[in-house]
Copies of this chain bind each other. A is one copy, B any other.
Amino acid sequence: MTTPLRLGIAGLGTVGIGVVKIVRKKADLLQARTGRPVVITAVSARSRDKDRGVSLSDYAWENDPVALATRDDVDVFVELMGGHEGTAKAATEAALAAGKDVVTANKALLAIHGQALAEQAEANNCVIRYEAAVAGGIPVIKSLTEGLAGNQIKRVMGVMNGTCNYILTRMQDAGLPYDKVFAEADALGYLEADPNLDVGGIDAGHKLALLSAIAFGTKVDFDGVELEGIERISIEDIKLAEDLGFRIKLLGVAQLTGRGLEQRMSPCLVPADSPLGQLKGGTNMVVIEGDDVEQIVLRGPGAGEGPTASAVMGDICDIARGLRLPTFGIPAKVLVSAQAATSNSTAPYYVRVGLLDRPGALAKLALALGDAGVSVDRMRQGHHDGSEAPVLIVTHKTQRRDLDAALTALEATGVLAGEPVVLRIESV
């Protein structure tokens, strides 16, 4: 096939411009690898006049992404605008309706509307590709969907929000409190316009929902992801965890249990010397466990112009080469609705509570845990700091709900100085 593959690119931010640069600069390489020219025919963005450091004069301009998506001279609609409603959704649907393939970096759109879009794509013989939506430059969608296709996937885990990992490692390395590092990250432009997308775990949760669907053949179910952000992690927690031989990571975990699909995105303790524990800064890591392959670990930059554009180009090259698969690896109609399972797998937990300086407070804590059937592996009380004493507990394996019951009972006794911090210790 030597007919050109014609791209229409909507969204000319960092990633969009990164893609434009690659297509211009590496035309020969792309043609050699795909066997056909890869060209841009039209682009679209909010402002036409902005100087983006690269000439766009060779391309038709569309103010309306929907118009771009349906142009006769566009084969692939490259959606790099973001947002799960509004224009990105409308333009993607229009592209599929017009029989165009779609390449996108939009995790929110797919995490929320993935099933409907996948069905629409298949009804129109189109493909939707989204390698850039998960873990930046790491070819994790491809590894999971294709390379490990012979495996029954047991568990998928990942650190998939570089900003959160930056904040947590910076807190650790510099001994700085959360608020200070959050402000630094903000000043460096690392945070989304709505920071809760990052530090609340939502962005990473979108990514986990996409990986779950591929791994387990289930309909993408972002609502089934138990979300917990990193806002309550203190420098104290980070230091205590380090003393115990652990690091705190915003970790996504998806696994199919007897009771359904468990999807968690929450700060967890992982062994300091594990690949996940060693991960620093904005780097991402995904761990895939399969019945045959055992464990594969993929590590790479989770964001940035080059790495994200690299993932977009990988998808474009696949389309140019004629490599076509259903959105989530198997036909959308075959994906099953997963029963969302509230975490019921057992694990040891890290618990930090502040106890009011009252006689018998520690006994009440111990009693509450015992009554709920939570067995304590280690407990340590620190010096009273004013009116409260910090207590660190590491439990034996327990169910989260038993632990929560213990803490609720403890709360009722009136000895708690504040809300406890509860972090799962994940075996990795």
- Determine, out of A79-87, A105-113, A305-313, A375-383, the stretch whose residues face the partner at the interface: A305-313
In the bound complex, do residue B330 and residue A149 qualify as a contact, i.e. CB atoms below 8 Å apart? no
- Complex CA–CA separation, A329 to B317 (angstroms): 11
Binding site for B on A (CB under 8 A): 18, 22, 26, 29-30, 32-35, 131, 137-139, 142-143, 146-152, 217, 273, 275, 278, 290-301, 304, 306-307, 309-314, 316-318, 321-325, 329-331, 334
Question: With contacts A137-B292, A147-B314, A151-B313 known, what are 4 further pairs, Cβ within 8 A?
Answer: A131-B147, A146-B318, A150-B310, A293-B301
Interchain residue pairs with CB less than 8 A apart (13): A32-B330, A33-B330, A137-B293, A139-B147, A143-B147, A147-B311, A148-B314, A273-B278, A292-B309, A292-B313, A293-B300, A294-B307, A295-B300
> A318 contacts which chain B residues (CB < 8 A)?
146, 149
In the complex, which of the residues B30, B314, B324 contacts A146, with contact meaning CB atoms closer than 8 Å?
B314
- Complex CA–CA separation, A299 to B279 (angstroms): 14
In the bound complex, do residue A146 and residue B323 qualify as a contact, i.e. CB atoms below 8 Å apart? yes
> A275 contacts which chain B residues (CB < 8 A)?
275, 278, 299
In the bound complex, do residue B306 and residue A217 qualify as a contact, i.e. CB atoms below 8 Å apart? no
Beyond A32-B334, A297-B298, A299-B299, is A150–B316 a contact (Cβ under 8 Å)?
yes
What's the minimum C-beta distance from A242 to chain B, rounded to whole angstroms? Answer: 16
Interface of chain A: mostly helix, strand, loop or mixed: mixed
- Complex CA–CA separation, A314 to B148 (angstroms): 6
In the bound complex, do residue A313 and residue B142 qualify as a contact, i.e. CB atoms below 8 Å apart? no
What's the minimum C-beta distance from A330 to chain B, rounded to whole angstroms? Answer: 5
In the bound complex, do residue B139 and residue A148 qualify as a contact, i.e. CB atoms below 8 Å apart? yes
What's the minimum C-beta distance from A313 to chain B, rounded to whole angstroms? Answer: 3
> A323 contacts which chain B residues (CB < 8 A)?
146, 323, 325
- Complex CA–CA separation, A306 to B296 (angstroms): 12
- Complex CA–CA separation, A292 to B19 (angstroms): 10
In the bound complex, do residue A313 and residue B139 qualify as a contact, i.e. CB atoms below 8 Å apart? no
What's the minimum C-beta distance from A367 to chain B, rounded to whole angstroms? Answer: 43
In the complex, which of the residues B137, B152, B293, B330 contacts A296, with contact meaning CB atoms closer than 8 Å?
B137
In the bound complex, do residue B297 and residue A300 qualify as a contact, i.e. CB atoms below 8 Å apart? yes
Beyond A142-B142, A278-B275, A293-B307, is A314–B149 a contact (Cβ under 8 Å)?
yes
Closest 8 CB pairs of A and B: A150-B313, A139-B147, A149-B317, A292-B306, A293-B310, A292-B310, A297-B299, A137-B293
- Complex CA–CA separation, A304 to B30 (angstroms): 36
- Complex CA–CA separation, A227 to B334 (angstroms): 50
- Complex CA–CA separation, A293 to B142 (angstroms): 15
> A138 contacts which chain B residues (CB < 8 A)?
296
> A314 contacts which chain B residues (CB < 8 A)?
146-150
- Complex CA–CA separation, A149 to B33 (angstroms): 7
In the bound complex, do residue B139 and residue A296 qualify as a contact, i.e. CB atoms below 8 Å apart? yes
In the complex, which of the residues B150, B299, B309, B312 contacts A22, with contact meaning CB atoms closer than 8 Å?
B150
What's the minimum C-beta distance from A104 to chain B, rounded to whole angstroms? Answer: 16
In the bound complex, do residue A30 and residue B296 qualify as a contact, i.e. CB atoms below 8 Å apart? no
**Least CB separation from A145: chain B residue:** B33
What's the minimum C-beta distance from A30 to chain B, rounded to whole angstroms? Answer: 7
> A290 contacts which chain B residues (CB < 8 A)?
310
**Least CB separation from A147: chain B residue:** B139
What's the minimum C-beta distance from A342 to chain B, rounded to whole angstroms? Answer: 27
- Complex CA–CA separation, A301 to B292 (angstroms): 10
What's the minimum C-beta distance from A208 to chain B, rounded to whole angstroms? Answer: 20
- Complex CA–CA separation, A151 to B323 (angstroms): 18
What's the minimum C-beta distance from A218 to chain B, rounded to whole angstroms? Answer: 12
**Least CB separation from A329: chain B residue:** B33
> A309 contacts which chain B residues (CB < 8 A)?
150, 292
**Least CB separation from A21: chain B residue:** B292
> A147 contacts which chain B residues (CB < 8 A)?
131, 139, 142-143, 311, 314
